[in-house]
Amino acid sequence: MELTPPAIIPGSKIPHKDANILRERVSRLLGLRSLNFPGAQPVSFAKKHLQTVKEHDYYVCEKSDGIRCLMYMTMHHATPKRYAVYLIDRKNDYYLVPKVWFPTTNDPNDSRLHTETLIDGELVMDSIQGKSQLKFLVFDCLACNGRLYTNRPLDRRLGVYREFVEKPLRTLVKAKPKVLAVMPFHVEFKLMQRAHGIEMMFREIIPKLHHGSDGLIFTCIETPYVTGTDETLLKWKSRESNTVDFLLELRFTAKLDTGDIDYSAMPEMPLSIWEGGKRYSYFADLYLENEEWEKLKESNTPLQGRIVECYLDEQNRWRFMRFRDDKQNGNHRSTVRSVIESIEDGVTKEELLHEAYYIRKSYYERKERREARHHDNPETHSVREASKEPAASGAEKRKLTPESEESTKRARAAD
């Protein structure tokens, strides 16, 4: 069950010493004391979280099988007067990406560009009619032109991105199509739905994707952006998508009539987990059907000592999914333990779909209560109205919501 290879980060990797200059900038921008990766990290969706998404407002989107990155717009680390865009991966490595521009205004002739802007997203490789297209899918905004938004709710953060980053970029591309032609990737907003749109995600959105997807992400609308592990950011995967990366060994025990080792017969295939350093320990055996073994042999590639991604089937057997030659080590024991716990306490697709009605019901009950409070106290103003930030017109407010026009129509139909 070989999956589409993940996207590759474009540009050039910045040496560690120079990257520290950028890490310090990002740390200051976000008000952090650490130079670690500043992105939020989800927790696995457990049974208790069914109640969580009923009690709080959430957006749901598909979990792309891509490369998680933050995009940082700033001035060049070595040439202060030169504009630069960097991608930051989960290893906290920085990549300088050429030929990417993010204007600050809707005037395509205005040369002013975004600086100290940080957005969260994922690189994916779309495959359409045999052609590949690298895309950066945006799903959050931490800072915009030096102004920090991590303490704002999600819908406000997304609104800032769509109004002040996405809209000027669209205007530029429309006026100067050649800009898009030279950019190393397209930038798109990731399609989101209210949490009760789970059925729509499974039925309509995921089947039409042009890239791999291995689950769902539930993001709380009410809470601020959290660097590091965010207990409100929920990652749902099906049982077969909860995978572990093991070190694979082959032990040939079958012998020919001559007494020689029969290297064509299926060997024992112990899987080992990483203990840190160069230490591994046995964990389980890989289960292969004869047909799968024959297919691996036909590939005529070395198997011994490779990292393999595996999933646990309904019979509790570890099954081969794909090779992970992009990884130096398998998963650490602590990661394996977390995956096993997620499988044991996981929520099935059927359970999610069953709960969608109750999630929707709870959402509209909360909405009615909020509207009633606002009606009783009409002088209550929104955060945007009370702040000095630019207010949005009715048309603009519609554009600021995370659903596209098409998805909004679908949501109304579902309601």
The DSSP-derived string for 27-48 is HHHHT-S--S--SEEEEE-BTT
231 with 256, same domain? no
What's the token pair of residue 57? Answer: 């407002």
Q: What is the Cα gyration radius of the chain?
A: 24
Amino acid 6: pLDDT: 60
Same domain? For 284 and 228 the reply is no
Q: DSSP 3-state assignment of 164?
A: helix
CA distance readout (Å), 113 to 21, 107, 163: 21, 11, 15
Choice among 54, 63, 190, 237 that is catalytic? 63
Distance CA 226, CA 43 (A): 12
Of 384 and 88, more confident: 88
Q: Is the pLDDT of residue 289 over 50?
A: yes
- Regarding whether 154 and 59 lie in a shared domain, the answer is yes
Query: Where are the alpha helices (H) located in 183-312, listed in sequence order?
Result: 198-200, 290-298
Same domain for 192 and 305? Answer: no
Residue 256 lies in a domain: yes
Q: Which of 345, 379, 402 marks a domain boundary?
A: 345
Note the pLDDT of residue 407. Answer: 38
* Domain CATH number, residue 324: 2.40.50.140
pTM: 0.77
Instruction: Measure CA 93 to chain center.
Output: 17
CATH of the domain at 149: 3.30.470.30
Q: What's the average model confidence in pLDDT over 95-120? A: 94
Residues 142 and 208 in one domain: yes
Q: Is residue 2 part of a domain?
A: no
Does residue 302 lie in a domain region?
yes
Q: What range does the domain containing 300 cover?
A: 243-345
Among 185, 203, 61, 181, residue whose Cα is nearest residue 126: 185
For residue 339, the model assigns a pLDDT of: 85
The predicted structure's pLDDT at residue 382: 43
Whether 184 and 271 map to the same domain: the answer is no
231 and 255 housed in the same domain: no
Q: Which contacts of 16-23 are long-range, i.e. CB under 8 A and separated by 24 or more positions?
A: 18/77, 18/78, 19/77, 19/92, 19/93, 19/94, 21/77, 22/72, 22/74, 22/77, 22/86, 22/94, 23/92, 23/94
Q: Which two tokens stand for residue 314?
A: 């309904």
Q: Are residues 222 and 249 in the same domain?
A: no
In tens, the pLDDT along 168-227 reads 999 999 999 999 999 999 999 999 999 999 999 999 999 999 998 989 999 999 999 999
pLDDT of residue 360: 96
Same domain, 310 and 194: no
Q: Kindly report the average pLDDT of the chain as a whole number.
A: 87
327 part of the active site: no
- Whether residue 90 is contained in a domain is answered as yes
381 found inside a domain: no
pLDDT, mean of residues 295-311: 91
Position 257 scores a pLDDT of 87
